[in-house]
Amino acid sequence: MAFESASTLTHGPNFGLGRDGQVIGTIGVAHGGSHFFQLVLPSLFPWLIDAFAVSATRLGLLLAVFFAVSGVAQAFAGILVDRFGGGRVLTVGLALLGVGALIAALAPTFAFLLPAVVLMGLGNSVFHPADYAILSHHVSPGRLGRAYGIHTVGGSVGWALAPIAMAGIAGVAGWRTALVVAALIGFGLSFFVAAGRARLETPLLAAVPGKSRGSATIDYLRLVSHPSILMCFAFFIFVSLVLLGLQTFMPLGFERLRGMDALAAGAAVTALMLGSAAGTLVGGHLADRGVRLQAIIGVGLVLAAGLVWLLGLPFLPAWGIYALAAGAGALLGMTTPSRDLLVRRAAPPGATGRVFGFVYSGLDLGATLAPVLMGALLDHGHGDRIFTVIAGFVLCSLVCAMLVGPGRESSA
């Protein structure tokens, strides 16, 4: 199929560096809030276990509820973005994160944490459809790749800050105080986005007179069943399997295969994430400079698959493990802006929110499958195959990306 560069995706006006910077900065900070809240409760697990006398398994169920709600609601959030505007939906989502954290802070029993994580899951569901709709509409075409890259890095910063902030506050003032602070952060970010909403709103999908809800549902199903959209959805399932496999099971694999201690094995994840952040920024520049999207994705994923496979070799020294992990992270990160631009290319006009909401729900589906698949390999004594399986998932995601074609002709 013909490759396309970022410059072919849109022919909108150049809004100017100042305005682009304001929009990118606002959305990057908001996305950091999304990832921050994903780790708010996990960062407080040691305190919650003592406070409610519950097992780690029961606390893990809270996270399962969080991501299940977020994944299911994400597709519906995309519909809301196209109907009511990205700025409004993003403002509400951040407020829901704050409300959920406040309920958790006041919870008298463990059971009260459940409605808290449901609200937080609903709040988390809005970010991908709202963020990408806003960036796609308000950022100049020549900076869109870098905008997507900074958006991704903003989320990584949120991941990095949450454990430090929550554990630090809980250690000094208690876990309830930490959750109150988290709630204030959510409310503050909601106000921050609301204050700049005039420059964030996205075009609304006009209601068609006489069209029933059934017809609207049929239109939505027709949209998301387009082959390119389904390939994007499948792509994100495999991406999630890769990322969750490396972030969660790579340290355990190193412990069992090489006898590495937990700290040394965990350092490989740090190398992976640092490499990913650097690669994402480079990938944004490449996409904006006209390098063809599927060429970036193809080269990046093929090389990344090779490095991941090499991580499973038994004779690697520690420095080689860290170098390969950082390199694999950089190559995977390099493809991130291009993959998001590829999704935008597949989305027909007026359907950006719905398309991003649907395809990104593939991440949550992959997140539910990864622990089962990787855990089964480890439990059955096949830890040496983890890296081969993950490398295979990288190549599967590559096949999906290569099959994505223009979706502009799809029904909106």
The Cα 39–Cα 248 span in angstroms is 14
The Cα 337–Cα 146 span in angstroms is 7
Q: Is 192 exposed, middle or buried (0-12, 13-18, 19+ CB in 10 A)?
A: middle
Predicted pLDDT at 346: 84
pLDDT band at 395; cut points 50, 70, 90: very high
Predicted pLDDT at 273: 85
Residues whose CB is less than 8 angstroms from the CB of residue 56 and which lie 6 or more positions away in sequence, other chains included: 45, 49
Element (H, E) at 295: helix 293-311
Go through the domains of the chain in sequence order and give each one's CATH number.
14-203 (1.20.1250.20), 218-402 (1.20.1250.20)
The Cα 360–Cα 343 span in angstroms is 10
pLDDT band at 55; cut points 50, 70, 90: confident
Question: Which of helix, strand or coil describes residue 13?
Answer: coil
359 pLDDT above the threshold of 60: yes
Q: Are 251 and 265 in contact (CB under 8 A)?
A: yes
Predicted pLDDT at 400: 94
- Compare 239 and 377 and report the one with higher pLDDT: 239
Cα 74 versus chain centre, distance: 12
What's the whole-number mean pLDDT along residues 62-83? 87
The Cα 170–Cα 188 span in angstroms is 20
Half-sphere exposure of 410 (CA within 13 A, CB side): 29
Residues whose CB is less than 8 angstroms from the CB of residue 209 and which lie 6 or more positions away in sequence, other chains included: none
> Degrees (nearest 5) of the Cα angle 398, 124, 99?
170
Q: How confident is the model over 133-161, as pLDDT tens digits?
A: 899 888 888 888 899 999 999 988 888 88
What's the whole-number mean pLDDT along residues 401-408? 73
pTM comes to: 0.79
Predicted pLDDT at 218: 74
Q: How confident is the model over 283-334, as pLDDT tens digits?
A: 999 988 877 888 999 999 999 999 999 998 888 888 899 999 999 999 999 9
Predicted pLDDT at 372: 74
Rank 16-30, 169-183, 254-268, 271-285 by mean pLDDT and report only the highest.
Answer: 169-183
Rank 165-169, 350-354, 367-371 by mean pLDDT and report only the highest.
Answer: 165-169
> Which residue has 């199903």 as its token pair?
221
Classify the phi-psi angles of 381: left when phi > 0, otherwise alpha if psi is within -120 to 50, otherwise beta.
left
